[in-house]
Amino acid sequence: MDTMLVRLKPYDPRRGHVLRRYTYAGIKFQEERAWYRVEKIVADHLRAVRQVPTDEHAPLAFDVCTEAEAKALEARESDAAKFKRSATDDLKVVPARPAGALTSDDIPKPATAPPAKDDEKDARRGKRERE
């Protein structure tokens, strides 16, 4: 029997990964559990599942891999999580904005309309009187 490893992509709303659980063919996939070994037929279906079912442009919901690909993916993710820059690293200089550059403060403010006078109010609508 041919099997593959699948997992629900880690929750990251910034990237559009918002599913935390998904059920298909009696299998409840949960983000916390990570990898599941499933039959190829199930894996082929999950390969096409989107984070938002009605949006064909939404990101894919599952990582579908062979065992070797899954190990490589986890290694890349753990390396990325450990990566931090220190003060002794060779860092590129981040250029500041030139002195003559326009900012939003340089844009003129729109003129506001003068307040309406009391006699210009709609006469059809009267005020309620107290009883």
Dihedral sign (CA 103, 106, 107, 110): positive
Query: Can you give the pTM of this predicted structure?
Result: 0.57
Q: Residues 38, 46: contact at Cβ < 8 Å?
A: yes
- Tell me the CA distances in angstroms from 69 to 29, 35, 37, 78, 104, one per residue in order: 19, 12, 13, 14, 48
Is 24 strand, coil or helix?
strand
Show pLDDT as tens, one digit a residue, over the chain (131 residues).
688 999 999 899 999 999 999 998 888 999 888 889 999 999 999 999 999 988 899 999 999 999 999 999 888 888 777 666 666 667 667 776 777 777 777 788 887 776 666 555 555 666 676 76
Q: How far apart are CA 94 and CA 122, in angstroms?
A: 58
